[in-house]
């Protein structure tokens, strides 16, 4: 699925802006001011669009601060930049000293990996690449033997830190890290931290559909509202739900936009990798949206939950009261169904 910022008018008409997916460098950006003092920064980063909206009487170089966040995340965690820290680590460079963002993302990823029973795993990058969804753009004709060979060096337990805590140790030199499932969410959190540091109370930060918001839209004098697009209707702007956000983060994951068709067999391969089996997931879940207090957490949780089945997702929701979930899935009759936790339902705009 994908999330979109919507206004009062667009909620009626479903006219909203489209968001792309990916993870590369900044290509353009622009800044504008609204009629009620709202400052708006828009552009592209990480291969997708971003929007930052906020209200503040204080003068500070918000453009420079936002760009510095994007540059920091790219230089540390982009697998598409050859000399980033993560790219050098993946190539076997054992001299890389981890920066603070890398350490934070690694530590929080460990916790979420455990919390999701291993379904969120940042070491599945080699599998994703082999299935044709990685930075190389290549595709290997996969079978159980090839999957098993890659699974030998897949697993978050194969990554540890040195005793000093500033370098990566691998159980197998072929292990690779991929933070693309959390880097956008982490960047959203960092931009939000910048605004909070500058005493900004009313803002919305969105990168590629990952969103965090605080306060309200003072221009409309209404809460920030974000729409969750129906994952089973690629060509439309129909929403599963629209929710209000205040000091909350929302991230979504789904298979409807990122897939590959085998030219020989016509078989569809989705981008969600099951870290337990090594195969692309062909389950009954179409899309997952997660609400929490951190966009990194929502981003990672949505990715991990997509690799589960609907029953495990519902059980997970019962055991983890710190997140709220919206799930779109197919029942035993292949009919589309929507399920959400009570906390998610409370934020839905009727």
pLDDT at 51 over 80: yes
- Tens of pLDDT, residue by residue over 234-249, are 545 577 899 999 999 9
What is the rounded CA–CA span in Å between residue 131 and residue 278? 10
For the chain, first and last CA: distance in Å? 20
Which fold does the domain 93-178 belong to in CATH? T-fold (1.10.3980)
pLDDT at 100: 96
Confirm if 188 and 207 have CB atoms less than 8 A apart.
Answer: yes
Q: How many CB atoms lie within 10 A of CB 139?
A: 16
Give the separation between CA 320 and CA 323, rounded to whole angstroms: 6
pLDDT mean over 271-281: 78
pLDDT of 15: 27
Q: What is the pLDDT of residues 71-119, one digit of tens each?
A: 999 999 999 899 999 999 999 999 999 999 999 999 999 999 999 999 9
Higher pLDDT, 180 or 341: 341
User: By C-alpha distance, which of 62, 74, 76, 73 is closest to 29?
Assistant: 62
**Rounded distance between C-alpha atoms, residue 239 and residue 236, angstroms:** 9
Give the contacts of 308 (CB within 8 A, at least 6 positions apart).
116, 119, 283, 285, 316
Tens of pLDDT, residue by residue over 126-148, are 887 777 766 555 656 778 888 88
Confidence of residue 260 (pLDDT cuts 50, 70, 90): very low
What would the mean pLDDT of 215-236 be, rounded to a whole number?
Answer: 82
Q: Which stretch, 18-32, 69-83, 274-288, has highest mean pLDDT?
A: 69-83
What integer is the mean pLDDT of 316-323? Answer: 96
CA atoms within 13 A on the CB side of 328: 21
pLDDT score of 271 more than 80: no
> Which pLDDT score, from 0 to 100, does residue 313 have?
96
How far apart, in whole angstroms, are the C-alpha atoms of residue 1 and residue 23? 17
- pLDDT at 45 > cutoff 70: yes
Boundaries of every domain in the chain: 93-178
The answer, yes or no, to whether residue 35 has pLDDT greater than 90, is no
């Amino acid at each position: 699925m994908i999330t979109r910022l919507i206004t009062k008018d667009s909620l009626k008409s479903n006219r909203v802006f489209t968001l792309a997916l990916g993870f590369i460098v900044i290509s353009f950006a622009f800044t504008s001011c609204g009629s009620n003092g709202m400052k708006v920064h828009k552009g592209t980063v990480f291969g997708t669009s971003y929007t930052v909206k906020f209200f503040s009487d204080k003068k500070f170089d918000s453009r420079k601060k936002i760009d510095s966040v994007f540059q920091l995340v790219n230089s540390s965690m982009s697998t598409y930049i050859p000399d980033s820290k993560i790219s050098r680590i993946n190539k076997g460079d054992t001299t890389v000293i981890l920066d603070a963002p890398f350490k934070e993302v690694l530590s929080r990823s460990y916790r979420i990996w455990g919390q999701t029973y291993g379904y969120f795993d940042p070491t599945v990058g080699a599998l994703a690449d082999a299935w044709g969804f990685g930075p190389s753009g290549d595709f290997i004709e996969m079978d159980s033997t090839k999957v098993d060979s890659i699974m030998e060096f897949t697993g978050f337990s194969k990554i540890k830190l040195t005793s000093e805590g500033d370098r990566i140790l691998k159980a197998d030199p072929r292990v690779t890290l991929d933070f693309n499932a959390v880097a956008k969410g982490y960047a959203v959190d960092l931009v939000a931290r910048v605004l909070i540091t500058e005493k900004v109370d009313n803002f919305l930060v969105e990168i590629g559909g990952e969103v965090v918001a605080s306060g309200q839209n003072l221009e409309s004098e209404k809460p920030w509202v974000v729409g969750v697009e129906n994952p089973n209707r690629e060509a439309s702007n129909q929403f599963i739900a629209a929710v209000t956000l205040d000091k909350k983060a929302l991230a979504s994951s789904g298979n409807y936009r990122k897939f590959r068709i085998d030219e020989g067999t016509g078989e569809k391969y989705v981008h969600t990798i099951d870290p337990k089996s090594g195969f692309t997931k062909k389950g009954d879940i179409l899309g997952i949206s997660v609400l929490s207090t951190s966009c990194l957490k929502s981003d990672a949780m949505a990715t991990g939950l997509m690799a589960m089945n609907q029953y495990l997702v519902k059980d997970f929701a019962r055991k983890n009261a710190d997140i709220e979930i919206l799930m779109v899935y197919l029942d035993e009759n292949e009919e589309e169904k929507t399920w959400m936790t009570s906390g998610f339902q409370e934020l839905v705009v009727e």
